[in-house]
């Protein structure tokens, strides 16, 4: 009847523990030595110095935008986790997220253009060629069910 499966379920951890093979100690593995790989863009020393100047110092506005985006996404997750969801409030959060992402994209593009303008012509050509090599990601359409 019902009691038999309950007894089996109650004893199953004991049975499984008795059947499990004894664990053997695995010897520690030596840490992997990381070696710097080849550079993706062979910029001249002058170009690398310019790139370090442009990208070396974090953009405080970009950092703040990213922090705002993370906070907004946390807020959205909390809202969705606690039904019922106020759709008007969710829509407002999604619109704010779109705005933040556009501002982040604009800041990143501004920094890239600053770099491209500052680079010598040969380095600029190298940068642009490498930007063109990157495979374009196809937008993923969401199919309604």
State how far the Cα of 6 lies from the Cα of 16, in Å rounded to an integer: 16
- Please count the structural domains in the chain: 1
97 and 73 Cβ atoms separated by less than 8 Å: yes
115-125 pLDDT per residue, tens: 999 999 999 99
The residue range of the domain holding 102 is: 59-119
**Average of pLDDT values for 74-82?**
94
Q: Is the pLDDT of residue 24 over 90?
A: no
Is 87 inside any structural domain? yes
Structure tokens at 76: 């959205």
Is 131 inside any structural domain? no
Is 39 inside any structural domain? no
**pLDDT score at 87:** 94
Q: At what angle do helices 121-133 and 87-118 cross, to 10 degrees?
A: 140
Is 109 inside any structural domain? yes
Is 141 inside any structural domain? no
**Average of pLDDT values for 95-108?**
96
**pLDDT score at 38:** 55
Q: How far is CA 100 from the centre of its chain?
A: 16
State how far the Cα of 139 lies from the Cα of 17, in Å rounded to an integer: 49
């Amino acid at each position: 009847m019902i009691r038999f499966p309950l007894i089996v379920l109650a004893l199953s951890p004991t049975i499984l523990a008795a059947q499990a093979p004894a664990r053997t100690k695995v010897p520690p593995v030596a840490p992997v030595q990381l070696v710097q790989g080849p550079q993706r863009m062979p910029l001249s020393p002058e170009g690398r110095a310019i790139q370090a100047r442009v990208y070396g110092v974090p953009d405080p506005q970009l950092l703040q935008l990213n922090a705002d985006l993370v906070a907004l996404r946390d807020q959205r997750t909390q809202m969705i986790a606690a039904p019922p969801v106020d759709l008007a409030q969710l829509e407002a959060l999604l619109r704010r997220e779109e705005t933040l992402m556009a501002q982040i994209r604009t800041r990143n593009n501004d920094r890239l253009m600053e770099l491209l303008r500052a680079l010598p012509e040969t380095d600029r050509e190298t940068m642009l060629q490498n930007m063109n090599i990157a495979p374009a990601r196809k937008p993923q359409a969401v199919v309604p069910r």
